[in-house]
Amino acid sequence: MLQNLLAAITNPLKADDIPALILSIAEFARNIGLPIAIIFIVYNGFLFVSARGDEKKLETAKAGIKWSLIGAALIVGASFLAEAVVNFVKEF
């Protein structure tokens, strides 16, 4: 009875081991984070264009673009780091 119940339960994570779980989490974060970063880059680009020479608005737009690019780089870097860790663990 218990074996039938356990056989009927499916794995909601769709990962059989820890490296697969790490890769799926990194992929999820990348798939959510990069579009958000791109939206912020476009939004701050619009702020940059609409500043029309106002120094305060230009500084705000430049800072926003800078932090959006840093965020996108962190997302991509974290994805590469997760893949490197998984590849390192699989060697052992």
What is the pTM for the complete model shown?
A: 0.77
CB 19 within 8 A of CB 89: yes
pLDDT for 37-91, tens place per residue? 999 999 999 999 999 989 999 999 999 999 999 999 999 999 999 999 999 988 8
- In the chain, where the domains are located: 16-90
CB 75 within 8 A of CB 33: yes
Q: How far apart are CA 61 and CA 66, in angstroms?
A: 9
Residue 92 amino acid letter: F
The DSSP letter of residue 14 is -
Across 9-23, 28-42, 66-80, least confident range:
9-23
Q: How far apart are CA 11 and CA 68, in angstroms?
A: 36
CB 27 within 8 A of CB 79: yes
